[in-house]
Amino acid sequence: MIESHSRAEDSVPECLPDVGCITCSDEGVEMRALEVDAASGLAVCLDPEGSRSEVDLGIVTGVAPGDVVLVHAGVALTRLESEEAA
Site of interaction with another protein (CB under 8 A) = 4, 6-7, 9-10, 12-28, 30, 48, 53-54, 56, 58-61, 68, 70, 72-75, 77-78, 80, 83, 86
Distance, in Å, from the CA atom of 41 to the CA atom of 55, rounded to the nearest integer, reads 9
Closer CB to another protein, residue 22 or residue 34?
22
Distance, in Å, from the CA atom of 68 to the CA atom of 13, rounded to the nearest integer, reads 25
Distance, in Å, from the CA atom of 36 to the CA atom of 45, rounded to the nearest integer, reads 9
3-class DSSP assignment, residue 40 = coil
Closer CB to another protein, residue 58 or residue 65?
58
Q: How far is the CB of 35 from another protein (least distance, A)?
A: 16
